């Protein structure tokens, strides 16, 4: 018979999993980005579904980055997962994401004469740059903290 896992052990295992999964999630977001720009103007139903999937995935990633995720775990486990170090790492990651989004917006503004982007494409690029950089930064900081 197996022994019940303590909250500390569970939180440690979940924190390590989070540090492994977040870069993969960022990769999925980038792959989804390439699919978005490889297809037409978004007039077909399948294009609308793809855009909706990107919006949903972006919202979930943003929610994970701002709240810490693990919404279906008990309060003690969530508290262990969101210790001071993790809160600092999330703050640093969100700061990195903000800076990346702003730099992307500035770059798009400067390059508007060379390349034509629709407003939707510009938003897509800015949001994706911010989220992916925040995910990667958070994962790197968490992996470093976990040793």
Find, among 50, 21, 56, the residue nearest to 33 by Cα.
50
* Residue 2 banded pLDDT, cuts 50, 70, 90: low
Q: Kindly state whether residue 93 falls inside one of the protein's structural domains.
A: yes
Residue span of the structural domain in which 129 resides: 7-146
> Is it the case that residue 31 has pLDDT exceeding 70?
yes
Q: In this structure, are residues 42 and 120 in contact, taking their beta carbons and an 8 Å threshold?
A: yes
Residue 2 located in a structural domain: no
Write out the two tokens for 89. Answer: 């790492």
Q: How far is CA 91 from the centre of its chain?
A: 13
Residue 69 lies in a domain: yes
Residue 1 domain-assigned? no
Per-residue pLDDT of 64-117, as tens digits, reads: 999 988 888 889 999 999 999 999 999 999 999 999 999 999 999 999 888 888
- Residue 109 within a domain: yes
More confident residue, 93 or 2: 93
Task: Count up the domains in the chain and report the number.
Answer: 1
């Amino acid at each position: 018979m197996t022994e019940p896992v303590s909250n500390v052990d569970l939180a440690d295992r979940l924190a390590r999993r989070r540090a492994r999964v977040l870069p993969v999630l960022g990769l999925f977001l980038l792959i989804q980005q390439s699919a978005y720009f490889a297809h037409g103007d978004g007039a077909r139903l399948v294009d609308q579904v793809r855009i909706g999937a990107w919006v949903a995935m972006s919202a979930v990633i943003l929610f994970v980055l701002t709240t810490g995720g693990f919404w279906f775990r008990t309060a003690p486990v969530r508290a262990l997962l969101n210790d001071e170090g993790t809160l600092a790492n999330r703050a640093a990651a969100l700061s990195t994401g903000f800076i990346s989004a702003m730099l992307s917006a500035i770059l798009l503004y400067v390059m508007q004469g060379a390349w034509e982007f629709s407003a939707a494409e510009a938003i897509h690029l800015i949001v994706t740059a911010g989220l992916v950089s925040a995910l990667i930064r958070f994962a790197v900081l968490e992996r470093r903290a976990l040793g």
